[in-house]
Structures are given as structure tokens and as C-alpha cells.
Amino acid sequence: DINKPAQPEKRRIGLMGGTFDPVHHGHLVAAEEARYQFGMEKVIFIPAGKPPHKTRQDISPPEHRLEMTRLAVSSNPHFTISDLEMKREGLSYTIDTVRAMKKVYAGWEIFFITGSDAVLEILTWKNVEGLLQECFFIAATRPGFNLEALGHKLSHLSREAVAKIKTIEVPALAISSTDIRHRVREGRPIKYLLPEAVEKFIYQNKLYQI
């Protein structure tokens, strides 16, 4: 395949963090495109334990979010899941997750994959310079969140840090977990927004009804 990116020198792994309440095709498309464009051997989906940036009180139990994620990635041999954040006590911080993964994947390049909304949030975190010493960031386009603010947000960062942030275009999917939860509650369809097995799991376990 003439369009296939060149084989990278170091082995590469992607981390896809999220609440995944529920996981949907927007997550899967972004992860697969990032994996392909950057020649990663695999992408690990890591459902958040207690996400520091989420204030919603009624986040689904970790076991449900982990199981939905497991079902969603099962058809892709390059995708896997980790319960690392869910097992950790207290809030989950990306830098701790990346450092833990670096121990397991010593010598690999680590890419943290996000949507364009999440990358802008991340750049406002404290010690973002430290984080960008540990891994690359990939910001995937997401409808409704343009990346124009990115340049402005990067202006205070060092050149080395800026070089660790990559942007990619993914086929636009205006899908969000919030919208899916609303749809379930209102009895509107969610079919084709997420994998069928995840849809079944939601109805079987009566998630998002209230």
C-alpha cells in the first residue's frame, strides 16, 4: 500500500482514554485512524475511574463501562482494553496512566489519543510540559469542536512540547455519549451510532433510563 505510513523506528502504542459511558463509533474511528496514520501496533482503551473533569454524578459503574468497551473493541485485533485507571484509588490523571504504561512498554513511543475537545482541556492542565515529555498527543477532529484555538493555547509552551502534539483528520462523526444517553432515556434510536453488542448491553442492563 503506497499510502501506508512508513514503519516507525520505535514500536508505537496508542492510549485512548475516556469515560466511555457508552463507547461509540466516534471513539473507534478516531482510534483506528490514529493507529493507522502513526503506525501503532495497538491501541489500548482505558475507561476512566473517577474522571477529574467530569462532574456528572451518575456515571455508570466502572464494570459496565469496561464491559461495553470490551465488547466494542473485540472485532479489532489491534485494539485492547485496560482497567488500570478503574483499579486505581481516587481520581485518574493522564500523567499517572502514561507513566504506568511506560513501565510496561519500556522503549516504546506512547501516543495519547484524544478528540479536539479533550486536547484543549488537557492543555490547560497544570504540568502539561511534564506530560508532553512523557508522550505524544494526537488530537482528532471532532464535529463542533474546532482546533483553531489550539495554536493560541500552545503559545506558552516550549518548542519541544509543541512538537509532541499532532493533529489528524478523521471522518466526522457527530456522535457523543451524552447524546446517546439522552436518546436512550427518550426512547429514540441509537442503532448505528455504536456497535450492536454495546447497544444490546445497554438495553439488557437498562442503562441510561433515568
**Span of 24-32, 80-88, 128-136, 188-196 interacting with ligand ATP by CB under 6 A:** 24-32
Question: 161 vs 180, which CB is nearer to ligand ATP?
Answer: 180
Q: List CB contacts of 25: < 8 A, sequence separation 6 or more.
A: 173, 175, 192, 193, 194, 195
- Evaluate whether 139 touches 112 at the Cβ level (below 8 Å): no
Q: Is 69 in the site for ligand ATP (CB under 6 A)?
A: no
Taking the complex as a whole, how short is the minimal distance between the CB of residue 7 and ligand ATP, in angstroms?
Answer: 26
Instruction: Give the interface segment with ligand ATP, choosing from 3-11, 110-118, 130-138, 202-210 (CB under 6 A).
Output: 110-118
Q: Does 97 bind ligand ATP (CB under 6 A)?
A: no
Question: How many of the other CB atoms lie within 10 Å of CB of 15?
Answer: 24
Asked if 108 and 11 count as a contact pair (C-beta separation under 8 A), the reply is: yes
Site membership for ligand ATP, residue 177 (CB under 6 A) = yes
Stretch that binds ligand ATP, among 34-42, 73-81, 88-96, 109-117 (CB under 6 A): 109-117
Q: What's the CA gap between 104 and 76, in Å, rounded?
A: 22
Reading the block at residue 193, the C-alpha cell is 451510532
127 sits near ligand ATP (criterion: CB under 6 A): no
Measured in Å, how far apart are the chain's first and last C-alpha atoms?
Answer: 48
Task: Give the residue, chosen from 123, 142, 193, 194, that forms a contact with ligand ATP under the rule CB under 6 A.
Answer: 142
Q: Is 32 in the site for ligand ATP (CB under 6 A)?
A: no
- Binding region for ligand ATP (CB under 6 A) out of 68-76, 88-96, 115-123, 202-210: 115-123
Report which DSSP code applies to 136. E
Q: Which of 140, 161, 184, 193 binds ligand ATP (CB under 6 A)?
A: 140
Q: Does 18 bind ligand ATP (CB under 6 A)?
A: yes
Cell numbers describing residue 188: 429514540
Residue 91 C-alpha cell reads as 481520581
64, 58, 114, 192 alpha-carbon torsion, rounded to 10°: 60
d(CA 32, CA 122): 21
- Which residues contact ligand ATP (rule: CB under 6 A)? 18-21, 26-27, 30, 114-115, 117-118, 140, 142, 173, 175-178
